[in-house]
Structure 1
Amino acid sequence: MVALLCGLSLIAPASAYADPVTHNRTDAAAGWLARQLVDGERFEAEFGGVTYPDQGLTIDAVFAFAAARTADDYADRAVAWLARPEITAGYVGSGGEAYAGAHAKLLLAALVAGEDPASFGGVDLTAGLSALLTSSGRFSDQSAFGDYSNAFSQSLALLALDRTSAGAPVSAVDFLVGAQCPDGGFPLDFGVTPCESNVDSTAMVTQALQATGRHVKAQQGLSWLVGVQNVNGGFSYGTFAPNANSTGLAAEALFTGGRLAAGFKARGFLKSLQVGCAGAVGDRGAVAYQASGFDPGTAVRATAQAVLGLAGVGLAHLHSGGSAGAPVLACA
């Protein structure tokens, strides 16, 4: 019996052991995020008392774990959940519905995780995304509810396809370049007059253009970002106060584009929003949405997007294969 018990102890799952302790702010944020996953594998959204799978936020977590190079076991479980046929189909569309942004984001996640995108959840994500490329170069939704594709979906498509053997279509890159506003930034929605640059979309577009070799246009967008950065290092969405989501996106773009001074200022703002040792034990490591304080309703998404900014890693440079476990912030 003693031998049997000893043998069982050798194959105990990783979750049976205490999470690693860390002084690294990025690792602590990723660790907190990992511990928020439902059943250690997914995020959910609730509307009208009904719970739905939140594939998009789950993918954000996969990106965060890859950027921090930690919580890799959580990332593996999240990817396995995303690869369930009903979860994949419910996200990218089925029965005549097909969504460009979902195809692009899930394709990028599959590639980051080292999965086969030609057979992910029973779907060929590369072919599905390519089928949504229109003659204008825009990746558009096929839906009875309208076309909600925008600068985010176009940027994600370029970032994902750039990793494939065929690369990103030139027409799609040209289309995104053509959306640039006169001030150098990029709008969220295409074809809107007047053209209004947006922090979040400019951060995404510059990463896509940097990855696909359009460095001049990418640098123009980054110059616009630097010009709208707040004194405290944060970035705002529109006229609202600086927030972690926009700042996280901007920071990863700035680091990717070599704008290190602005990137470090943005990172400093993100750290100022992070719950430290003075906070509740269960909140330590999380990044609040705004300086007003920690709110569990917004902290998950804020932390997921902040991690890439804290790590200084852009979407084009994410790869799986980090350490296991959900690091806990070290406190005396």
Structure 2
Amino acid sequence: MGKQLRRALVGMLAGAVVVSGLPSGAVTRRERIALGARYIASRQAADGSVPGFSAVGGTADAVLALAAARRGPEAVADALAFLEGEAAGITSVGQLGKVAMAAVAGGGDPRAFGGVDVVARIQGAYDPETGRYGTDQGVGVVDQALAILGLAAAGAEVPRRAARWLAEAQCPDGGWQFDAPYDPAVDDRHCSSGEDDFSMSDTNTTAYAVMALEVAPPVRLRRDPFRYFDLARDGIKGGWRYDFRRRPFGSLAVTDANSTGLVLQAYAAAGEDPPPRARRALAALQYRPCGRLAGAFAYTWVERDGRWVRSPSRAEARAEAGSGGVTVIGATVGALPGLAGVPFPVPEAGPLRAPPEAPAC
């Protein structure tokens, strides 16, 4: 297969899958991606930031999405300027990894970014005894993956011990959870230690881990992470939910844009075709391509009166944009790299084209 993650699997062979195209219609996948970039740029603040659960993480993610779409030169430049202004105050090794990736994808220098050597900051957080980056117990596994991706983006060496730490954090079900590595003394096969443990294996962290291990020195994996993706796939809409549970909080969980986008990136990183309907499932979450929401993605689906509708609805999404909410912009930022088939780290995009204008409704 020519990809080290697949070579690393112990005695496992992945089954062949079929490429699924987008549904025929007026809007092509390329047009969907370009319009998605348009929506991201439209949500950018005057200071260059893009709304997210954190200003730095959301803006770095937006740069990666725009670079994957090869659209939005002004938006990328403004976003990088914002991140440069924030660089000195970043303490999270995961955010440093995202910023290093964003700097490279946007044509910047992560070793001289706002007066900060982001690469050296990541390297300084490394413990050679354990192989771990950072000390935050709450996001240890996802931080490890992002640190590796940031170093790889910058062309810096990734220690084999760091890759081994990430590989050994894998849960017995093939996935990874975002906070702590698997502990056989207390965890079940999903890395859950009981009713009070709200973290367990999830598609998002697993996708980050797959992408990180693809760009790290080869290490031995005991389980096939793509079996976890099979376990967590939504059989109704064809994409992926956040984790393997069908009813995590009492209601049915179906395809969401962020999880599906990340898993599609993991397939691209491993050189594998995604399952049938997967790309179509992601594209279906995009709102009607016109007006203020042209290019935007809903987060997921909800069942109302016996039919599936996007959530947030168009009306809710318009209201959210006006109030600075993050669900729709976060879903759009998360969807674009997966729809484009571009894994992390996103390479330097080179000259970017301007996003298209929004068609009238």
Q: Same fold (TM over 0.5)?
A: yes
Q: 1:199 to 1:112 in 2, by over 3 A?
A: same
CA deviation digits over 1:168-215, x for unaligned, max 9?
111110100111112222222214523242111101100111122538
User: 1:223: how far off?
Assistant: 2.9
1:38 corresponds to 2:35 = no
Q: 1:330 to 1:222 in 2, by over 3 A?
A: farther
Q: 1:220 to 1:322 in 2, by over 3 A?
A: farther
Worse-superposed segment, 67-76 or 182-191: 182-191
1:289 corresponds to 2:299 = yes
CA deviation digits over 1:88-120, x for unaligned, max 9?
233x1xxxxx32112211122122223222221
User: 1:74: how far off?
Assistant: 1.1
Distance 1:125 1:165 in 2: 13
Structure 1 segments unaligned to the other structure (5+ residues): 1-21, 47-52, 93-97
Out of 233, 239, 245, the residue aligned to residue 238 of structure 2 is 233
CA deviation digits over 1:36-89, x for unaligned, max 9?
10127212469xxxxxx71110111100011111112211111112112xx223
Report if the CA contact (8 A) 1:150-1:188 is conserved.
yes
Q: What is the Cα-based RMSD across aligned positions, in Å? A: 2.6
Match of 2:347 in 1: 318
Distance 1:328 1:217 in 2: 46
Report if the CA contact (8 A) 1:71-1:327 is conserved.
no
1:305 corresponds to 2:334 = yes
Match of 1:274 in 2: 286
Report the TM-score, using the length of structure 2 for normalisation: 0.74
Give the letter for the 1:65 counterpart: L
Out of 224, 231, 250, the residue aligned to residue 263 of structure 2 is 250
1:211 corresponds to 2:215 = yes
Out of 135, 153, 165, the residue aligned to residue 175 of structure 1 is 165
User: 1:316: how far off?
Assistant: 2.6
Match of 2:77 in 1: 76
Match of 1:138 in 2: 132
CA deviation digits over 1:262-312, x for unaligned, max 9?
2x63221111110124x6x10121000112333333100000000011101
Out of 110, 121, 134, the residue aligned to residue 114 of structure 2 is 121
Distance 2:356 2:96 in 1: 31
CA deviation digits over 1:96-150, x for unaligned, max 9?
xx32112211122122223222221221111111111122111114xxxx64332
Report if the CA contact (8 A) 2:175-2:202 is conserved.
yes
SS at match of 1:162: helix
Paired residues in the alignment total 291
Report if the CA contact (8 A) 2:47-2:82 is conserved.
no
Report the TM-score, using the length of structure 1 for normalisation: 0.80
Q: 1:111 to 1:219 in 2, by over 3 A?
A: farther
Identity score, percent = 30
Report if the CA contact (8 A) 1:70-1:324 is conserved.
yes
Match of 2:224 in 1: 220
Distance 1:217 1:72 in 2: 39
Worse-superposed segment, 30-39 or 158-167: 158-167
Match of 1:6 in 2: none
Report if the CA contact (8 A) 2:94-2:147 is conserved.
yes
